[in-house]
Amino acid sequence: MEIERKFTIKEIPADLESYPSHHIEQCYLNTSPVIRARKEDDEYILTYKGEGMMAREEYNLALNRESYYHLCQKADGRIISKRRYLIPLLHPAYKEGFPAPPEDYSLTIELDVFDPPFAPLVIAEVEFGSRVAAEAFVPPDWFDEDVTYCKEYHNSYMALQSGQTDWIL
């Protein structure tokens, strides 16, 4: 089960290049349900995602390079390319009433900086272990709008668009 929230951001962290990152390229063979082929650095993955916006089933299968490029030739829409930065969020904040996590608890912010034609779009995603935790999460100050339930910010939707980001910015 994938449980994640998505946010636009107010500003990119100044020390962004100090965090580990991966270059991601992905294509969509279907958008309902989502069937995606992804190249992350030198790894290739076929993903099935069930219905839902914040929480949904997700299954991953390993692919080889040849299979990835073969599937992308059959993809609907554009190939999406982005750099994903992995930023630790130490001591995440939660709404009042949510049980305090252990002192050493942290989450990871996956900050996606999109390449053209979707640049200058930047989206932050945070994954959670439960729906309750996701709903109680208080985002850091540098996050802006919660776009978890906005289809326009889901990569599978974006792949079918013209590539101009004016429709979401």
Catalytic annotation present for 19: no
Query: Which residues share a beta bridge with 134?
Result: none
Question: Which one is catalytic: 28, 44, 85, 153?
Answer: 28
Residue 165 CA, distance from chain mean position: 17
Measure CA 125 to chain center.
5
d(CA 13, CA 141): 11
Q: CA-CA distance, 156 to 27, in Å (whole number)?
A: 8
Nearest-CA neighbor of 18 among 83, 82, 81, 86? 86
DSSP 108: E
> How far is residue 144's CA from residue 141's CA, in Å, rounded to a whole number?
8
Q: What positions carry a catalytic annotation?
A: 28
